[in-house]
């Protein structure tokens, strides 16, 4: 398995990886508000690639304008993690697993 960290031009790197993926893509982000990346994920899900997105269920994600149900309708899965009480900082992850 190859691990690669990106600190510049991140959106283009992720878009490129999504476009060339052919297997399960798992994305875990505290906040996922990028419409271009979301559209790319929905497109891959419609083509039969298993897509799973894990995000916090908070004001940022819930009011950013992205309809996460579109990914579910395309065949993907969206996991919204509640952020209250002692687990408030639980979802501060930033990783993406593409093609296993």
pLDDT tens track for 21-79: 888 778 787 888 899 999 999 999 999 999 999 988 888 888 999 999 999 999 999 99
| 85 part of a folded domain | yes
Q: For position 1, what pLDDT does the model report?
A: 63
Domain enclosing residue 69, as ranges: 22-98
- What's 31's domain CATH number? 3.30.870.10
Number of domains making up the chain: 1
Give a yes or no: residue 53 inside a domain: yes
Query: Which H or E element spans position 44?
Result: helix 35-46
In a domain, 28, yes or no: yes
Count CA within 13 A, CB hemisphere, residue 31. 11
Give the number of residues written for the chain.
100
8 Å CB contact between 77 and 53: yes
Residues 81, 30: Cα–Cα separation, whole Å: 9
Residue 13, in any domain of the structure: no
Question: Cα-flanking dihedrals φ and ψ of residue 73, to 5°?
Answer: -65, -25
In a domain, 78, yes or no: yes
């Amino acid at each position: 398995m190859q691990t690669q960290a990106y600190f510049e031009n991140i959106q283009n790197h992720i878009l490129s990886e999504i476009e060339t993926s052919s297997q399960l893509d798992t994305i875990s982000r505290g906040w996922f508000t990028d419409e271009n990346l979301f559209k790319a994920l929905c497109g891959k899900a419609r083509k039969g690639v298993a897509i799973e997105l894990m995000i916090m269920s908070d004001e940022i994600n819930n009011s950013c304008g992205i309809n996460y149900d579109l990914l579910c309708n395309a065949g993907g899965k969206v996991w919204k993690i509640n952020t209250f009480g002692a687990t408030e900082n639980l979802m501060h992850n930033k990783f993406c697993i593409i093609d296993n």
